[in-house]
A and B are shown apart, each in its own frame.
Chain A
């Protein structure tokens, strides 16, 4: 476990060296969001996205100093390296989820003097979770691509893949709905009560599948 901890500490120590830039970026983002009329959307949706991207940037930092090769001289194996990277990205993304929630509630509280409005809370929770699931979906696609092609090349391939996937999924879903004669509203209301559970299970399954694929890619990769 110490080895996994060491690998996660390595990523956190590396990102810590950019702490003033990151802090300034978050501060600017929070202040701008607070001043805008759409602060709920800005904070609750974009905060998890921002942190999710921050987690993924660990690939670029490692590429810069060719850290991978050096790390493999430690008493670690390639599977440990992949496992620790997924855990690190998950921790950073979930921190964004929690911070997004806190900042949005604080902003609402300061603006309206009411911190715990039930309806408001449930809508914030839905948008924070929705955005976190969204970024985790992207991550589960992007991490194996990063392992396969490296941080720079991986980013371009990932963008192409997301566009293709979005178009593909929407085409399949629309065709399927037309075929079954269901409208989008109907579908959503049917799924409403189970949406969180479905999203949760899908996310865990995607993350696990992504982890298995990344392990296979990285174990075969010539560093």
Chain B
């Protein structure tokens, strides 16, 4: 399968924070969810991928080309939505089109206005007067109207109500429908990713913990809830991590079918991505 993005050994050191040898890929036509708690390194990773910050080490290849050497060419085919940064809030959607068409030769004004109509966004109102959901829809319409092959979104659903979030997830599904487009989406709202992501990349303390197909996480991973006696019977190598609660242990298992056979356990809960993330972060080994 062709890879749209390849991140190899990406390192970046700040005072009190470090991205350590970040590696992951985005196969063509896929949605990758980058998850992790606030401050885990999601935004820094995205900023380094986009060359907004200088990396200390590592390589980023997009569409098979080295980003450092082909930055302008590559960026013509990328659409970006950032959580805390956009054009001035005193601009209306019409003015935004006048600006954007200068940057992207593929800017399609008709398509942009079609998206605005679909998202029910007023053309002449300044975006300061928009609700959070409307602002995000405007950012997305702006990011996809030059028909990018790769869409990179940093926390696009945070702070939105469930209806707006659902609308936005629908837009992403539609975007990748033809198999030619791919999405990298960072979020700490893991339930959103459960709906749409094909792969999950989990980052914690600046390190990639894993990249796995979402179905593998939800189907193969499991959580065993047991008391201390049962827990003592488990071999350390058979579970990922455990979390000690007041009365019981939550034990995260990577392959629940094997575990079931080995320990003769009948009930293993199906974990959500959030459960997996929590035990990885808070749990012990």
Contact = CB atoms under 8 A, between A and B. Distances in A.
Contacts, number: 90
B85 A66 contact: yes
Interface in B92-133: 92, 95, 98-104, 126
Contacts of A17: 88, 90-92, 95, 126
Given A10-B99, A223-B52, A70 B75 contact: no
Contacts of B78: 73
B99 A13 contact: yes
A9 B87 contact: no
A161 B82 CA distance: 35
B185 interface: no
A75 interface: yes
Contacts of B100: 6
A199 to B, nearest CB: 34
A170 interface: no
A8 to B, nearest CB: 9
Contact of B82 (A3, A5, A73): A73
B95 A2 contact: no
Interface string A95-124: 000000000000000000000000000000
Q: How large is the interface on B (under 10, 10 to 19, 20 to 34, 35 or more residues)?
A: 20 to 34
Interface string B64-92: 00000001110110101010111111111
Given A72-B50, A77-B71, A222-B53, A3 B85 contact: no
B99 to A, nearest CB: 5
Interface of B: 47, 50-54, 71-73, 75-76, 78, 80, 82, 84-92, 95, 98-104, 126, 152
Given A73-B80, A77-B72, 9 more contacts: A5-B102, A6-B100, A13-B99, A16-B95, A17-B92, A68-B85, A70-B86, A72-B50, A73-B78
